[in-house]
């Protein structure tokens, strides 16, 4: 029978990566002083599963590597080995290594053998040295040497009375012996009690079996392997006429074929391993990033809801077609009800489908304990990480894209925010700093906050720095908020020297831009000496947005509702025309530029060409406000965002398209893009 | 055809076992851990149980012990899938009433052969 | 893989001799004015009648706009305008041929407006001649070869080139 094992590989990889995440977070949670047995057990199980799977699916290098981890963990689990920080670090390093091995196999890339060997050595060193009281004495399984020719075996088999209760049947063994060669069996009834005492569930028979042929002893032993504890067994070479040998079950069990190599290398020189400290501080390539995004794991409850809803929809549909078949005006009410039902079910269905794309933010948060663990030891700081609201759900796309900006912010907090223990004590703070990651929903947004109780942003320093870099004018008057936001300006870095932790040439300006490209925004609150909070606001989903449709000529455009501040009718005296600089209008204290939609998009047949005839929709995008001049407002509705670029091209001022109720396509406006367009 | 309960917390192993046995014409029900398996075993009598050892909630050894205590499962063959090559787990398994074991890694052929062995 | 498909296709059209499996190729022929063109039938996804498009601002005039094709946003190109053959007058009888191409490895679906679809024609690959320099109306960059069918000359178009967009896709590739 040939079965294509490759069909199970994908799921094996998925569960292995999950297992690695479990191991990682388990290892990070271990408290050296008070080791939780269940945590160790969980870590062990994950390693064990990966080993079993990798062996079965033919990834022997992985199985071999995991075997060493498993052995280490097994000893910790049994209390034969103390859980020490160095050992945990080696295991963490091994988790990383294993992850790379699996990724390499999955992507069919070349494995970094040297790295694997190095980690393997570190593991072996830990295994052999380390803090174990006694390694289990692994008995090398000795193939028992026999002379080539043998005529067969004489077997005395006396099952204990409880043999049947293990689900074993003597007949099975006879059958298997018969496959080895010709057999003669005699049964010994002596042990059978009288009918009164006879328990039919017990076995009281014993047998003498002779199997003829040139049969290796091991094959005979294999047959009785499962029952050696439940019987008296003696196996004798037919040719040997000497006295009965000692019972066979003294011999080591025959599992040789499967035995993985025992941890080698008492000879390996002990390696002072940096690997536990993980050179992989470079979080740009930590787990979840960049892994295949094609599949999504969905809670079965969500699918059940969906199926129920489809059921409802089908019922409604059949009801409607029934009405349609013999329609007369009497059924108008029924029809209306049916249509209302249809609408409700469609909406619910839409919500449920969107819900499938929602993932808990813990998918992103889960990488941070490791990051904080590694970085704080590297920076010589004591830092505790608090995660709040991990179950808050966000769209899958947001989960994938928010990860890197968050890593950057957290690194910043660790590097620049939290002080060294000495500094903290001097400032009258607790030695251990706290970084908090919190996620929650507010309105149609998800808010993710990164806060620390560190030194906070120094407004004077920020200002001085911005002046020095020529980012602001000498006489610039800046509010607190504006001062803080200086750090988002390109070319600004608050660190006195770039460290390898948060340096890397990517500035906060990139973080801000990335967040804005997700349709979000970022806010800073900070108090000198007590800490900072960065709050990221993101739309719940990128696939649907609340839109305001507007008419320009015969065309319909969608403005994201989130970017609309208000809509106003302007009067002539609000308008200000600056030669060569276009039109502006006064809104309260501000003069805002006007973008005439019909002009910038060359729309024919615009109804309103005089500003006073149409409507100005005041919008804000990337901190820039302006008034969009349109003919009229139409409806507000949720629209499904479709890509214009999938089959076509990017068009400046347009972020995407959507399909309206009548099946036609409407374009969704990109406010910052429009501003850029109008400046040309 | 004989029905088999396949228990493993690892989805890939479970699918492999199940796929292999189904391919050979057996009736296979999957369970994700000992607790799940015990519930399923109570609702229907299986002719054979194949279980992983290390699982959350209830491990394979506890499962075998619990199953053996059920009248329906007194003599039913129960096999452990184990990577433990040491005698430790096997010993515990046997004490719990396991019929035998299949040592991981195994290939579908080995699995089938063993199952055919105990199901006769 | 997609990439490969695109390449082999190009080869089969440019070097008809290299492909031995089949000697015939099928083309969908259509007219623009009094000229006849053909596209590889395997690139034709469907034929639709003209329906109003949503105009896209600030793009070349021959890119007429986009339509909703079963949930996907698909651009519509006017081939007459693309080939500088004058303007079309759209009626419900105007035909849109929906074509699929690979730009690099990325599939792209696009509709092209033609006057009318004439036929599916079988052309012997060995009979396809390389395109001469017309020097005239039609830019030869889209023409893969010439073939005659029932005494008429059919210009065979390279769909991959046809579906490239100005300012978006590089000319090489």
CATH, residue A55: 1.20.120.160
Contact A556, A649 (CB under 8 A): no
The region that residue A235 occupies, defined by phi over 0 for left and psi between -120 and 50 for alpha, beta otherwise, is beta
> How far is residue A462's CA from residue A528's CA, in Å, rounded to a whole number?
12
The answer to whether C163 contacts chain A (CB < 8 Å) is no
Residue A493, pLDDT score = 63
Give the closest of C54, C56, C74 to A664, CB-based: C54
Lowest mean pLDDT among A422-436, B60-74, C32-46, C84-98: C84-98
Long-range contacts for A520-526 (Cβ within 8 Å, ≥24 apart)? A520/A445, A522/A488, A524/A457, A524/A481, A524/A484, A524/A485, A524/A487, A525/A484, A526/A456, A526/A457, A526/A484
How many of the other CB atoms lie within 10 Å of CB of A530?
A: 13
CB < 8 Å to C58, chain A: 601-602, 651-653, 677
Please indicate, yes or no, if residue A467 is contained in any of the structural domains. Answer: yes
Q: Say yes or no: A534 and A582 in one domain.
A: no
Cβ-defined contact of C72 to A653 (cutoff 8 Å): no
The nearest alpha carbon in chain A to B105 belongs to: A56
C67 touches chain A (CB under 8 A): yes
Give A602's contacts in chain C (Cβ within 8 Å): 57-58
A254: in domain = no
Domain boundaries in chain B? 1-117
How far from each other are the two terminal CA atoms of chain A, in whole angstroms? 70
Total domains present in chain A: 5
A487 within some domain: yes
* CATH number of the CATH domain containing A433: 3.30.565.10
Kindly state whether residues A53 and A108 are assigned to the same domain: yes
pLDDT given for residue C45 in this prediction: 92
| Residue A572 and residue A674 in one domain | yes
CB-based contact (8 Å) between A667 and chain C?
A: yes
pLDDT for the residue A294:
55
Is pLDDT above 80 for C139?
no
- C59 touches A: beta carbon within 8 Å: yes
CB < 8 Å to B65, chain A = none
Whether residues A516 and A381 share a domain: the answer is yes
Q: What pLDDT sits at residue A665?
A: 93
Q: Do residues A342 and A394 both lie within one domain?
A: no
ipTM confidence score:
0.82
- What contacts A450, CB < 8 A, 6 or more positions away? A406, A409, A410, A413, A435, A436, A437, A533, A534, A536
**From the first residue on, what is the mean pLDDT of each consecutive set of 10 residues in chain A (680 residues)?**
73 88 86 79 87 83 87 83 84 89 85 83 78 43 49 84 82 83 81 74 82 82 81 79 42 38 38 37 36 62 84 86 85 87 84 80 87 86 90 82 86 89 91 92 81 91 85 82 84 54 60 78 89 87 81 94 89 83 85 92 89 91 84 89 85 89 89 84
Query: What integer pLDDT is reported at residue A63 of this predicted model?
Result: 86
At A443 the pLDDT is 64
pLDDT of C21 higher than 50: no
Residues A570 and A525 in one domain: no
Q: Which residues from chain C sit within 8 angstroms of residue A664, using beta carbons?
A: 52, 54, 68
Contact at CB, B74 and A169, closer than 8 angstroms: no
Nearest CA in chain A to B94: A166
Q: What is the pLDDT of residue B104?
A: 80
Three-state secondary structure call for residue A652: coil
Please give the Cα distance from A642 to A655 (Å, whole number).
9
Q: With a threshold of 0.80, does the pTM exceed it?
A: no
- Measured between CA atoms, the residue of chain A closest to residue C71 is A659
Contact B103 A42 (CB under 8 A): no
Q: Give Cα A562 distance to the centre of its chain.
A: 30
Take residue A598 and report the two structure tokens written for it.
């019909």
- Measure the CA–CA gap between A492 and A465, rounded to whole angstroms: 8
- Using a 10 angstrom Cβ sphere, with 0-12 exposed, 13-18 middle and 19 or more buried, the burial of residue A573 is exposed
- Do A627 and A640 lie in one domain? The reply is yes
Does chain B touch chain A (at least 3 C-beta pairs within 8 Å)? yes
* A61 CB-contact burial (10 Å; exposed 0-12 / middle 13-18 / buried 19+): middle
- For residue B68, CA distances in Å to A227, A397, B38, B49, B75 come to 16, 49, 11, 11, 8
Residue A107 is predicted with a pLDDT of 83
Phi, psi of A418 (to 5 degrees): -70, 135
- Asked if residues A602 and A596 have their Cβ atoms less than 8 Å apart, the reply is no
The predicted pLDDT at position A295 comes to: 67
Output the pLDDT for position A134. Answer: 41
Closest chain A C-alpha to B83 CA, distance in angstroms = 6
Same domain assignment for residues A522 and A581: no
Is residue A145, in this structure, part of any structural domain at all?
Answer: no
Return the pLDDT at C22.
Answer: 65
Domain identity same for A661 and A562: yes
Of A342, A357, A372, the residue at which a domain comes to its end is A357
Q: Give the model's pLDDT for residue A261.
A: 37
A657, A530: one domain: no
Q: Do C57 and A665 touch (CB under 8 A)?
A: no
The answer as to whether A245 is a domain residue is: no
The answer as to whether A637 is a domain residue is yes
Q: What is the pLDDT of residue B4?
A: 94
- Chain A partners within 8 Å of C57 (Cβ): 600-603, 651, 653-654
The predicted model gives B93-105 an average pLDDT of 86
Percent of chain C scoring above 90 in pLDDT = 30
Subunits close to B (at least 3 CB pairs below 8 A): A
Residues A572 and A664 grouped into a single domain: yes
- A42: which chain B residues are within 8 Å (Cβ-Cβ)? 56
- Site of tokens 């091991």: A218
In this prediction, residue A266 carries a pLDDT of 38
Contact B7, B41 (CB under 8 A): no
Cβ–Cβ gap A1/B55 under 8 Å:
no
Task: Report the CATH number that the domain containing residue A660 is assigned in CATH.
Answer: 2.40.50.180
Domain residue limits at A328: 300-357
> Distance (Å) from the C-alpha of residue A665 to the closest C-alpha of chain C?
6
Task: Specify whether domain B1-117 bears CATH 3.40.50.2300.
Answer: yes
Contacts of B106 in chain A (CB under 8 A): 56
Three-state SS string over A52-117 comes to HHHHHCCCHHHHHHHHHHHHHHHHHHCCCECCCHHHHHHHHHHHHHHHHHHHHHHCCCCCCHHHHH
Q: Quick one: closest CA in C to A640, which residue?
A: C71
Decide if A45 and B19 are in contact by the 8 Å CB cutoff.
Answer: no
Mean pLDDT calculated for residue range B109-118? 87
Residues A352 and A481 placed together within one structural domain of the fold: no
Identify which of A15, A51, A57 has the shortest CB distance to residue B83: A51
Is the residue at A403 inside a domain?
Answer: yes
Residue A279 lies in a domain: no
What pLDDT, on a 0 to 100 scale, did the predictor assign at position A240?
A: 62
Report yes or no on chains B and C touching (3+ CB pairs under 8 A): no
């Amino acid at each position: 029978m040939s079965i294509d094992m490759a069909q199970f590989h994908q799921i094996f990889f998925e569960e292995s990566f999950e297992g690695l995440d479990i191991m990682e977070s388990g290892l990070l949670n271990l408290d050296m002083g008070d080791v939780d047995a269940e945590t160790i057990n969980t870590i062990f199980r994950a390693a064990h599963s990966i080993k079993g799977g990798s062996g079965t699916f033919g990834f022997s290098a992985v199985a071999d590597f995991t075997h060493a981890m498993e052995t280490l963990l097994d000893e910790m689990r049994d209390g034969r080995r103390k859980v020490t920080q160095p050992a945990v670090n080696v295991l963490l390093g091994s988790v990383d290594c294993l992850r790379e091995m699996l990724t390499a196999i999955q992507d069919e890339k070349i494995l970094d053998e040297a790295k694997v060997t190095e980690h393997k050595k570190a593991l072996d060193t830990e295994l052999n040295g380390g803090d174990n009281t006694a390694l289990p004495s692994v008995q090398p399984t000795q193939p028992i040497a026999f002379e080539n020719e043998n005529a067969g075996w004489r077997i005395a088999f006396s099952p204990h009375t409880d043999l049947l209760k293990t689900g074993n049947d003597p007949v099975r063994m006879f059958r298997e012996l018969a496959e080895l060669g010709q057999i003669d069996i005699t049964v010994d009834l002596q042990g059978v009690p009288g009918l009164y005492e006879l328990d039919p569930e017990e076995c009281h028979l014993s047998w003498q079996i002779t199997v003829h042929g040139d049969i290796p002893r091991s094959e005979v032993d294999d047959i009785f392997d499962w029952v050696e504890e439940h019987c008296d067994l003696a196996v004798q070479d037919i040719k040997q006429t000497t006295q009965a040998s000692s019972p066979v079950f003294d011999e080591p069990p025959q599992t040789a074929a499967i035995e993985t190599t025992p941890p080698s290398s008492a000879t390996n020189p002990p390696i002072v391993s940096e690997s536990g400290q993980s050179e992989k501080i470079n979080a740009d390539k930590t787990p979840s990033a960049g892994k295949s995004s094609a599949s999504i794991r969905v809670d079965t409850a969500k699918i059940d809801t969906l199926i129920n809803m489809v059921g409802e929809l089908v019922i409604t549909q059949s009801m409607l077609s029934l009405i349609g078949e013999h329609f007369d005006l009497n059924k108008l009410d029924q029809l209306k009800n049916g249509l209302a039902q249809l609408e409700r079910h469609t909406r619910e269905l839409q919500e449920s489908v969107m819900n499938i794309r929602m993932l808990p933010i813990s998918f992103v948060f889960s990488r941070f304990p490791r990051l904080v663990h590694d970085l704080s030891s590297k920076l010589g700081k004591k830092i505790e990480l608090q995660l709040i609201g991990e179950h808050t759900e966000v769209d899958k796309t947001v989960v994938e894209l928010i990860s890197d900006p968050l890593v950057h912010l957290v690194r910043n907090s660790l590097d620049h925010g939290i002080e060294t223990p000495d500094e903290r004590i001097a400032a009258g703070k607790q030695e251990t700093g706290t970084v908090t990651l919190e996620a929650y929903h507010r309105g149609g947004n998800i808010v993710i906050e990164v806060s620390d109780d560190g030194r906070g942003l120094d407004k004077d320093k920020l200002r001085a720095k911005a002046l020095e870099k020529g980012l602001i004018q000498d006489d610039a008057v800046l509010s607190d908020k504006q001062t803080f936001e200086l750090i988002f300006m390109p070319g600004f870095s608050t660190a006195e020297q770039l460290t390898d932790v948060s340096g890397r040439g990517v500035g906060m300006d990139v973080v801000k831009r990335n967040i804005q490209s997700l349709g979000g925004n970022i806010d800073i609150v900070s108090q000198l000496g007590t800490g900072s909070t960065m709050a990221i606001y993101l739309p719940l989903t990128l696939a649907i947005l609340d839109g305001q449709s507007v008419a320009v000529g015969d065309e319909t455009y969608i403005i994201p509702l989130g970017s609309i501040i208000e809509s106003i009718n302007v009067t002539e005296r609000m308008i200000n025309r600056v030669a060569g600089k276009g039109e502006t209008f006064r809104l309260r204290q501000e003069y805002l530029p006007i973008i005439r939609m019909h002009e910038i998009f060359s729309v024919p047949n615009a109804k309103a060409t005089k500003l006073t005839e149409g409507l100005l929709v005041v919008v804000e995008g990337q901190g820039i406000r302006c008034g969009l001049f349109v003919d009229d407002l139409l409806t507000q509705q949720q629209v499904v965002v479709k890509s214009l670029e999938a089959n076509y091209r990017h068009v400046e001022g347009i972020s995407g398209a959507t399909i309206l109720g009548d099946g036609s396509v409407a374009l969704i406006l990109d406010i910052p893009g429009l501003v850029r367009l109008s400046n040309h | 055809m004989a029905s088999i309960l396949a228990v493993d917390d690892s989805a890939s192993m479970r699918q492999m076992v199940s796929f292999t046995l189904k391919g050979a014409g057996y009736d296979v029900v999957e369970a994700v851990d000992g607790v799940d398996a015990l519930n399923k075993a109570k609702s229907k009598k299986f002719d054979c149980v194949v279980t992983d050892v290390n699982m959350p909630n209830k491990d394979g050894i506890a499962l075998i012990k619990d199953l053996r205590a059920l009248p329906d499962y007194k003599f039913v063959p129960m096999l452990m899938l184990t990577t433990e090559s040491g005698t430790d787990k096997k010993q515990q398994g046997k004490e719990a009433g396991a019929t035998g074991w299949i040592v991981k890694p195994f290939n579908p052929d080995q699995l089938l052969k063993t199952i055919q062995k105990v199901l006769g | 893989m997609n990439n490969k498909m695109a390449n082999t296709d190009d080869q089969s059209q440019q070097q008809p001799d290299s492909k031995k499996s089949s000697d015939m190729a099928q083309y969908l022929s259509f007219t623009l004015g009094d000229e006849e063109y053909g596209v590889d039938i395997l690139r034709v996804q469907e034929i639709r009648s003209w329906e109003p498009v949503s105009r896209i601002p600030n793009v070349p005039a021959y890119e007429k706009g986009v339509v909703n094709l079963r949930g996907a946003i698909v651009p519509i190109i006017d081939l007459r305008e693309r080939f500088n053959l004058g303007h079309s007058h759209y009626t419900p009888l105007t035909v849109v041929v929906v074509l699929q191409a690979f730009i690099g490895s990325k599939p792209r679906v696009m509709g092209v407006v033609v006057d009318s679809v004439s036929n599916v024609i079988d052309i012997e690959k060995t009979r396809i001649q390389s395109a001469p320099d017309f020097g005239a109306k039609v830019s030869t960059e889209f023409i893969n070869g010439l073939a005659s069918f029932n005494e008429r000359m059919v210009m065979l178009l390279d769909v991959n080139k046809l579906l490239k967009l100005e300012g978006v896709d590089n000319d090489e590739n």
